[in-house]
Amino acid sequence: MSETPADKNQPTNESTNIVWHDGEVTRGDRASVLGHQGCTLWLTGLSGSGKSTVGVALEQVLNARGVLSYRLDGDNVRHGLNANLGFGADDRKENIRRIGEVAKLFADAGVVTISSFISPYQADRDQVRKIHEDAGLKFLEVFINTPIEICEQRDPKGLYKKARAGEIKGFTGIDDPYELPTNPEIEVKTGELSIEQCANQLVDALLKHGILKAL
Amino acid sequence: MSETPADKNQPTNESTNIVWHDGEVTRGDRASVLGHQGCTLWLTGLSGSGKSTVGVALEQVLNARGVLSYRLDGDNVRHGLNANLGFGADDRKENIRRIGEVAKLFADAGVVTISSFISPYQADRDQVRKIHEDAGLKFLEVFINTPIEICEQRDPKGLYKKARAGEIKGFTGIDDPYELPTNPEIEVKTGELSIEQCANQLVDALLKHGILKAL
């Protein structure tokens, strides 16, 4: 790549002298454009606990504040990036690993990333936390703490019914474990609070952790 | 999730009546926050052709214009999302497939996504184009068209030297094919233009394709 070739028809030896990869745009540069930091909010909880509902409400509040957020969920990940994964133990682990890596890239890009997956195992969640923290990125584990009785009563996709009937095997909370978050940054009780209250609880956390600035 | 439970200690039947997933923030909402559309600029070309250099220059120009861009390259993908892939034919294909899916998510989020990989096969590039276009997202294939003689002369990582010495097998352009883009939206000749000219060529394309608005 010639900066100022003396002869346009012989545009080179100089090219090898160029400093490659100099002056990359930094995370701070992107934050200046956006007016906020990036981070990952990792929503974990049982099926029907309200992860997606809280995530959607949160992105509405954030959008209204001029904050760029993006939700990673089964709809946009399982049919695309992770379409070649099944539901066996290894593939479930790889599913969460890939989502964690993508969330990290989004957080690095400056986006308030809202991940919405059951992610039942603490070791998997801890690994996602680690790759964020190793990169100097904020990772907030959000336990959507809704009693299974309420989740099963809601049963928005009819999955508990199928699991109880034995039509689905290995269903989290029924015949597969959900490991309670040992030290989540945020605990949201959707059975006790309104959606708006839940979303605002997360906005408060983003303010407290310095991701957003007060209006 | 109870909106207005009559009795806080029995907060539910109503929860099943809530409309789940209603009112998600749209791509247009995010574009309003950002002031521009998202898209993927897919830089393809030989090792040493200048993909990363052009990508870095472009992100500098975009950042200065207040545009949120993000680069996907070997540094942030091979050590993370694709750390479990090798360099055999299947893994190289899966490498590009995953990067394409991630680029699509970033474009959907509203980011001007700059992907920087050799990606030597037209079929792989076409597949990435397809998933973008199927989702209504702009995909701009950018052929970084630098003669192999110049790439080899630059040889910023010493890879051509190793390939010529037989220390690296299956090196694109030496003993593995690079399939020329059949119909790229943009062709950038880094051997003939300055870095700034190359970056501005891409900004012009973003304007022409309606991703950015004129200043």
pLDDT of residue A22: 52
- Look at B105 and A70 and tell me if their CB atoms are within 8 Å: yes
**Residue B96: is it exposed, middle or buried by C-beta count within 10 angstroms (0-12/13-18/19+)?**
buried
Distance CA B191, CA B153 (A): 11
pLDDT of residue A108: 97
Strand pairing partners for A176? A172
Distance CA B27, CA B111 (A): 11
pLDDT tens-digit map of A33-56: 999 999 999 999 999 999 999 999
pLDDT tens-digit map of A53-83: 999 999 999 999 999 999 999 888 989 999 9
Cα torsion at B192, B197, B198, B201 (round to 10°)? -120
**Average pLDDT value for residue range A182-189:** 97
> Which residue in chain B has the smallest CA separation from A6?
B192
ipTM of the complex: 0.89
- Look at A108 and B195 and tell me if their CB atoms are within 8 Å: no
pLDDT of residue B75: 84
| CATH class, range B28-208 | alpha beta
pLDDT of residue B22: 53
pLDDT tens-digit map of A119-171: 999 999 999 999 999 999 999 999 999 999 999 999 999 999 999 999 999 99
Distance CA A100, CA B191 (A): 39
Q: What is the pTM of this model?
A: 0.89
The Cα of A82 is separated from the nearest Cα of chain B by a number of Å equal to 8
Helix H or strand E segment including B73: strand B69-73
Instruction: State in Å, rounded, how far the first CA of chain B is from the last one.
Output: 46
Q: Are B37 and B110 in contact (CB under 8 A)?
A: yes
Whether residue B9 is predicted with pLDDT greater than 60 in this model: the reply is no
Q: Are B201 and B50 in contact (CB under 8 A)?
A: no
Would you call B205 an interface residue with chain A, using a CB distance cutoff of 8 Å? no
The Cα of A54 is separated from the nearest Cα of chain B by a number of Å equal to 9
SS (H, E, C) B74-109: HHHHCCCCCCCCCCCHHHHHHHHHHHHHHHHHHHHH
CB < 8 Å from B in window 74-133 of A: 76, 80-81, 84, 94, 98, 101-102, 104-106, 108-111, 131
Residue B193: pLDDT band by 50, 70, 90 thresholds? Answer: very high
Average pLDDT score, chain B: 89
Nearest residue to B174 via CA among B191, B189, B162:
B162
pLDDT of residue A18: 33
Three-state secondary-structure class, residue A25: coil
Distance CA B160, CA B178 (A): 14
**Sheet arrangement for strand B112-116:** B69-73, B112-116, B39-44, B139-144, B186-188
Domain ranges of chain B: 28-208
What would the two tokens of residue A129 be?
A: 């936390």
pLDDT of residue A160: 96
pLDDT of residue B3: 35
pLDDT tens-digit map of A97-126: 999 999 999 999 999 999 999 999 999 999
CA angle B182, B117, B57 (to 5 degrees): 100
In CATH, the number for domain A37-208 is 3.40.50.300
Would you call B64 an interface residue with chain A, using a CB distance cutoff of 8 Å? no
Whether residue B19 is predicted with pLDDT greater than 60 in this model: the reply is no
> Which residue in chain A has the smallest CA separation from B5?
A192
**Average pLDDT value for residue range B146-159:** 95
- Look at A12 and B156 and tell me if their CB atoms are within 8 Å: no
Number of alpha carbons in the 13 Å side-chain half-sphere of residue B191: 20
What would the two tokens of residue A125 be?
A: 């969640």
Distance CA A119, CA B84 (A): 20
Which of the residues of B are catalytic? Answer: 116
pLDDT tens-digit map of B62-71: 999 999 999 9
Helices and strands (H and E) in chain A: how many = 8, 5
Would you call B154 an interface residue with chain A, using a CB distance cutoff of 8 Å? yes
Indicate the residue of A34, A50, A191 with minimum beta-carbon distance to B11: A191
Distance CA A130, CA B59 (A): 28
Q: Which residues of A8-40 are buried (b: 16+ CB within 10 A; e: fewer)?
A: eeebbeebeeeeeeeeebebeebeebbebbbbb
- Look at B109 and A70 and tell me if their CB atoms are within 8 Å: yes
Higher pLDDT, A178 or B6: A178
Percent of chain B residues past pLDDT 70, beyond the cut: 90
Indicate the residue of A8, A11, A23 with minimum beta-carbon distance to B60: A23
- Look at B153 and A16 and tell me if their CB atoms are within 8 Å: yes
**Average pLDDT value for residue range B142-167:** 96
- Look at A16 and B131 and tell me if their CB atoms are within 8 Å: no
Distance CA B10, CA A97 (A): 38
**Sequence-separated (6 or more) residues with CB below 8 Å from residue B19:** none
Whether residue B87 is predicted with pLDDT greater than 90 in this model: the reply is no
Would you call A56 an interface residue with chain B, using a CB distance cutoff of 8 Å? yes
- Look at B56 and A24 and tell me if their CB atoms are within 8 Å: yes
